[in-house]
Amino acid sequence: MTLTVPPPTAAVTRRRAAWLAYAAVAWAIGYGTLRAGWAMTGTPSFGPLGTDLVVVTGWWSVALQAAAATAGVGLAQAQAWRPALAAAAWAVCAAILLSGALLLLDLVGFLILDLSPAFTLAGFLSRAGALTGAVLLHAAALAHLRRFRGDCGRCGRARRSGGPAPRWARVAAWAAVAGCLVRLAAQVAVGFGDLPLAQGASVVAFEVGFLLAGVLLPLALVYRWGRVWPGWVPLLAGHRVPRLVPLAPAVVFAVGLICYFGVGLAQLAVETVTGTVDLGDGRYPLGFFWFAESGYWLWGWGLGVAAVGYHLRTRRTCRHCGR
């Protein structure tokens, strides 16, 4: 006998959407209050960088949290599909993510077990707090979209899972590889200096991770060996790859690369136009920074789009709508 699970009622869907929206509001109020306190009485020590956030700081960061809370209330109380409201919520999410762009440096430091001298616990926790608010607001906007666009209220899907990677996902994956190679080519053009082995194990780990995240990870998102372990993997060959193994790092690094190097490119463009570029010790010419940062940014976008394709193909079938 097959047990059929009924689809969620409109009331259940509405409560779920409202809960997410009010969670985003509560977080924005709490985090915004903290930032207002810092703006009035002074911030903790953020080390050599002197700041925890970039682009949107000080009272502007307080205003951004107020915008997040306002968007959350609007999403919670909406009785119909409001595309402008959802767009505004996602715009606030993007601004929050940009403000926490330095979180990428924290994550890289954790992965290679070599935190930057500029790392501070207060700065890391503050950036993580901003990211948490952005995730909650995104979830609320997504729930609003699912509730009113006519698809399943539980999963919001418009297509079934499975199948081969679509062409756009494969193009994105190879674009990510191209971005990695552009970054590598820029380094080859100016030279590598000391060998990595002479600089310590952390740099070796960074170089290995660089190649894995720039070549293996994007392609794993669009080819079969990213879903089933290939024959050359001992003990695991032929078994399914847990979907979060490639998906989680792809999403994290895609967001980090897009935000961090998006800010960097914008700053580089302004400094190039105004003639205020600081080339440090002069080892690297201006062209190196343009090629390297553009390569990183392309890498991030390609990785992110390929991750979306992988997510759509590998998610479990919804028990409520069968997609």
Evaluate if residue 196 carries a pLDDT over 60.
Answer: no
pLDDT score of 274 = 82
For range 93-115, the mean pLDDT: 87
pLDDT tens digit string along 239-262?
899 999 999 999 999 999 999 999
The answer to whether 177 and 302 have CB atoms below 8 angstroms apart is yes
Highest mean pLDDT out of 26-30, 160-164, 312-316: 26-30
- Mean pLDDT, residues 222-226 taken together: 91
Place of tokens 């689809």: 7
- Give the span between the Cα atoms of 67 and 60, in whole angstroms: 10
Using 50, 70 and 90 to split pLDDT, how confident is the model at 91?
Answer: very high
pTM of the predicted model as reported, rounded to 2 decimal places: 0.77
Residues 287 and 190 sit within 8 Å (Cβ to Cβ): no
Residue type, 188: V
Q: Could you tell me if 297 and 258 are in contact, meaning their C-beta atoms sit under 8 angstroms apart?
A: yes
**In the chain, which residue ranges form alpha helices assigned H by DSSP?**
10-41, 58-77, 83-99, 103-111, 121-148, 167-190, 201-211, 217-220, 244-274, 286-314
Task: Tell me which of 7-11, 33-37, 56-60, 146-150 is least confident.
Answer: 7-11
User: pLDDT digit string (tens) for 264-321?
Assistant: 899 899 888 888 888 776 788 888 899 999 999 999 999 999 999 999 888 877 766 6
